[in-house]
Structure 1
Amino acid sequence: MRQNLTSGRTALVSSLLLPPAVCAVLLPARGSLANTDVALGLVVVIVAVASLGHRVPGALTAVSAAVWFDFFFTRPYATFDISKSADLTTAVLLLLVGLAVSQLATHARRMRVIAITDAGYLAQIHDTAVLSRSANSPLAVADHVREQLIEVLQLRGCRFEYGTLMGHPPRLEHDGSVLIGENVWDVDRLGMPAQEVELRLVSSDRYYGRFMLDPIPGARPSRQARLVAATLADQAGAALDPMWRVDKAA
């Protein structure tokens, strides 16, 4: 999250500073450089800022590029007036193309982040499946999943309770929703509840235990992350099934 904030600040500062800086660098060649070439150079700047993955700085860069292109490279110079229709067309196209390119670059980066995230989630599930086949103790699998849940759901802590079911805390369901009583809690808008949330291990109507999740205040794990957490809990439940059968037989 800190990295995202740093990236956002960098993009915002770049959106304000890069267009006038590039225009200033190109200014000495104003007499020999076609305005369309200047506009293309500014589009490159817009793409560079938008590639950081933030839509607003990308759009600001497009606006800033059009404004400073007008100020430095259209007659009358050093004003925000445009006397030639060709320059007006170029400035408008720079703005529109810049906004479109910014949107596309932002979307492309977001898709790349999602792909990387998906790969990370799949690795978590795969690691747990491998451990389930090789671990001598089912509780070792539960402890491994407990650690994974802390990372996946942005938790301060997590503990596992085997075979207990006391109280009525908020509950993370296996469809990714969070219930408080019978009401659905809007995690995407409100974040996780400010109290422990249970994630039950249930398989074939058998209850094995639950993970008690302690969310970081304000954390908003995505629905995808919540579904991965439920899948990890299912794997832990499957690993605990033999131990449950032994306990029942005893």
Structure 2
Amino acid sequence: MGCSFLTRPYQTFDIDTSADVETAVLLLVVGLIVSQLAARARRLEVITVTDADHLRRIHETAELAQSAKSSDTVVDHVRGQLTEVLSLRACRFEYGTLMGRPPRLEQDGNVAVGRRHRDVDIDGWPDGEIELRTYGNGHYLGRFMLTPGPGPVPPLQARLVAVTLADQTGAALDTAGPVKDG
């Protein structure tokens, strides 16, 4: 049959005894364990890099919200961040009152369609635009209108980062007030 270089006869793949079978099985088990550990290490590395990137985005936006002379600067920055974090096709911001009842990305990272929650991890994004509301001191100030791109729905962690970024926008709008063209 063959598999072992470590038992007699050396330098062959012959498995003739139970010791040869034990050696082959042990080598297989050790190989599987090592490959699983390596795969887990790669996943943890990706998670660590992703977490650091999300934290960087939140930190940069918080600094901008504190230092920007115009809330529009924060809105534009967050619009770009949301596009990247959620892999959006498009993202725009609407100041003021609510119009219509589009699906809504909520504070917990879930999506509400009407009065029901949609399991976007299983069912994907709903069709059309999705709103992400911004509040300042408990008052509605505006919303980001998100147009999902192709591909899978971003994980819950990315959706929670998006909500946090929108909250930063709400804080900037509440402090500075929107600068309207005109």
Q: TM-score, normalised by structure 2?
A: 0.88
1:117-169 superposed Cα distances (whole Å, 9 cap, x missing partner):
11101110111111112211111101100000000001011000011311111
CA contact (8 A) 1:176 1:223 kept: yes
Which residue in the other structure is 2:155 paired with?
Answer: 222
Q: Tell me by how many angstroms 1:245 deviates.
A: 9.4
Map of 1:178-189 to 2, 5 A cutoff? 178-189=111-122
Report the 3-state secondary structure (helix = DSSP H, G, I; strand = E; otherwise coil) of the residue aligned with 2:132.
Answer: strand
- Corresponding residue number in structure 1 for 2:73: 140
Larger RCO, structure (CA 8 Å, separation 6 or more): 2
Q: Which amino acid aligns with 1:173?
A: E
- Cα offset, 1:194, TM superposition: 2.8
What does residue 74 of structure 1 align with?
Answer: 13
Q: Which residue of 2 aligns with 1:206?
A: 139
- CA offsets 1:192-237 (integer angstroms, 9 cap, x no match): 2232110000233200100000101333101000000000000000
Deviation, 1:244, is 4.3
- Offset, 1:190: 2.4
In 1, the alpha carbon distance for the partners of 2:79 and 2:17 equals 67
Is the helix fraction higher in 1 or 2?
1
Q: Aligned pair 1:94/2:27, yes or no?
A: yes
Q: For 1:193, what is the secondary structure of its paired residue?
A: coil
| Cα distance in structure 2, aligned partners of 1:149 and 1:142 | 10
Pair 99,235 (structure 1): closer, same or farther in 2 beyond 3 Å: same
What's the CA shift for 1:35? 4.8
| Equivalences, count | 177
Question: 1: distance between equivalents of 2:161 and 2:62?
Answer: 13
Q: Which has the higher strand share?
A: 2
% identical equivalent positions? 58
Taking the aligned partners of 1:115 and 1:246, their CA distance within structure 2 comes to 38
Is residue 167 of structure 2 the alignment partner of residue 234 of structure 1?
A: yes
Q: Distance in 1 between matches of 2:140 and 2:55?
A: 25
CA distance in 2 between counterparts of 1:133 and 1:191 reads 35
Structure 2 unaligned blocks of 5 or more: none
1:158 aligns with 2:97: no
- 1:192·1:217 contact (CA, 8 Å) conserved in 2? no
Gaps of 5+ in 1: 1-22, 24-29, 39-71, 76-81
Q: Deviations over 1:14-35 (max 9, x none)?
A: xxxxxxxxx9xxxxxx9xx525
Q: Please tell me whether residue 120 in structure 1 is matched to residue 53 in structure 2.
A: yes
Greater CA drift, 152-161 or 131-140:
131-140
Q: TM-score, normalised by structure 1?
A: 0.65
CA distances 1:78-102 after superposition (whole Å, capped 9, x unpaired): xxxx321111111111222222222
Aligned to 1:174: 107
CA pair 185-204 structure 1, distance change in 2 beyond 3 A: same
